[in-house]
Chain A
Amino acid sequence: MPPFVEFHQVTKRYGEGPAILADVSLQVERGEFVSFIGPSGCGKSTLLKLVAGLSPVTTGTLTVDGLSPHSAAEELAFVFQEPTLLPWLTVERNVEVPLRLRGEPPERRRERARKALALVGLSERAEYYPRQLSGGQRMRVSIARALSLTPKLLLLDEPFGALDEMTRDRLNEELLAIRAEQGWTAFFVTHAVAEAVFLSHRIILLAANPGRIHREIRVDLPYPRTAETRQTPAFQALVAAVSRELRALPNAAPATATP
């Protein structure tokens, strides 16, 4: 079976500018949770945008489920750095937006939105407006919106970067629990080493200028991972090792060892 997502010598530049990503080759299997971590300017957000079909590759090939990212749009869902909600719509209506744009009939999308909200534990907030929610709750709505599309591939661009540590840890655990049920593949961009170790099968370390793959690190901790996982020596050793690698990168920006 061919890999689910395949980068083959992908280079990306905007116009005549310098390469943002250079010669990236990567294969990701179905159901894999892959994190991307690296200093600012390593092109990790650009990499997600390529997979999302928001921007074409300059050279090389990129396929999702054997298709071009643009053709595979129906299989993808994106979670942005910010919750990116429409402030004038209630929580439930926000979750319905992508379904509405895809032309789902009202009852269907309502049902799917309710289900997705239940998954993130926000059924009771369905009629609230975004400004009435906390930062963590808004991010949950954003995740519910992505999940309502029942994606095969979930792209997350530093979704928890703006949250406090406790909220972030809890959302990490919830995300893994949902993944265990639904089995989507995940591309997860982050600045936080501990988060990457906790979530991933595999961590891709990127170097900057131009953005390129520096190293891959397998995380062999067994799933299901829970809050206790963070206390194990194996987890902590991995966090330390990845942090060391990250610091050793040329012109690396200081990365946080703990989120």
Chain B
Amino acid sequence: MNAHPLLRRLLPALTGALFIALWYLAHALLASERRFLLPPPHSVLFAFRDHGPVLWSAAMNTLQGALLGFGTAVIGSSLAALVLSLTPLVRASLYPYLMILQLTPIIVIAPILILWAGAGIVSVTIITFLICFFPLVVNTTQGLISTDRNLVDLFRMCRASRWQEIWLLRAPGALPYFFTGLRIAATLAPIGAIVGDFYAGNSAGGQGGLGFLTIIYSSQFKIAALFATAVSSCALGFLFAGGVVALSWLCLHRWHDSYSRSDV
């Protein structure tokens, strides 16, 4: 079905408007003594006005933790993927331990981390790293070992060195897989930082992030402010996901089939 392009642009806005209308309706339908549980949309806007500076500095702290954790996970997982791609033997001996890392819940790891690294940015970064690492390393490794057999033969016939094979053949070929992992990790990074902050955040010197703010607002029953915190977290998520989508487009659109257009 071919919707008119203008309609296609308008549709998301319409969905949003409908959602807000339903929100108001739900608010109005609640018994008056329970209405505080679901503040209307404009109260959330007022919460942004009233708590703006606090929310902003918390969001920046969370962004910092998310970026640090995400960045170190990208570097760490790429190096790990290179090692894992060497031989099936290496993969067989290391994969089970990667699984352990992934399967241990963060809420179990967090208290240990806080004991080791203390509350604050270091622990938040490590928790974000742990959450982002797995999808990245699994996808990138898969990409590095999925090289076309004939291309490998071509490189061997030309007496390519191990490094040439990795840099000119395997790594560029793994890019689409890497970006699949990166997209997953990008949506996880802000969540990781907020969860990390929830357990390991530190309010000292205004260093708390959105996770820490959640604890404060919920203890104070500031429900509109909690909604504002949720919206801020969501905005951070969009920022990450959007950045990765843009980067992926930059790196792949010229050659990869996922960006093929019928008019080229």
Out of A78, A82, A89, A102, name the residue touching B159 (CB < 8 Å): A102
Give Cα A130 to B164, complex, Å: 21
Contact present for B150 and A88 (CB under 8 Å): no
Residues of A in contact with B (beta carbons under 8 Å apart): 52-54, 73, 76, 78, 80-82, 84, 86-89, 97-98, 100-102, 129-132
Q: Mostly helix, strand, loop or mixed at chain B's interface?
A: helix
> Which residues of the partner chain A approach B155 to less than 8 Å between Cβ atoms?
101
**Which chain B residues border A89 with CB–CB below 8 Å?**
255
In the assembled complex, which residues on chain A have CB atoms less than 8 Å from the CB atom of B264? 131-132
Contact B154 A88 (CB under 8 A): no
Per the bound structure, the CA–CA distance linking A97 and B172 in Å amounts to 14
B33 at the interface (CB under 8 A from A): no
- The 7 closest A-B CB pairs, nearest first, are A101-B158, A84-B150, A98-B158, A88-B255, A101-B160, A129-B255, A80-B150
Chain B residues with CB under 8 A of A132: 264
Is A78 touching B172 in the complex (CB atoms < 8 A)? Answer: no
B contacts, CB < 8 Å to A: 148, 150-151, 153-160, 164, 168-169, 172-173, 175, 254-257, 260, 264
Neighbour of A88 across the interface among B157, B158, B160, B172, CB < 8 A: B172
Q: Does A88 lie within 8 Å of B175, measured CB to CB?
A: yes
Asked if B255 and A87 sit within 8 Å, CB to CB, the answer is: yes
A80 touches which one: B154, B156, B175, B260 (CB < 8 A)? B154
Residues in B whose Cβ lies below 8 Å from that of A78: 153-154, 157
Complex CA distance for A82 and B159, rounded to whole angstroms: 21
| Further pairs besides A54-B157, A89-B255: 13, Cβ < 8 Å | A73-B158, A73-B159, A80-B153, A80-B154, A82-B150, A84-B151, A87-B257, A97-B158, A98-B158, A101-B159, A101-B164, A130-B255, A131-B260
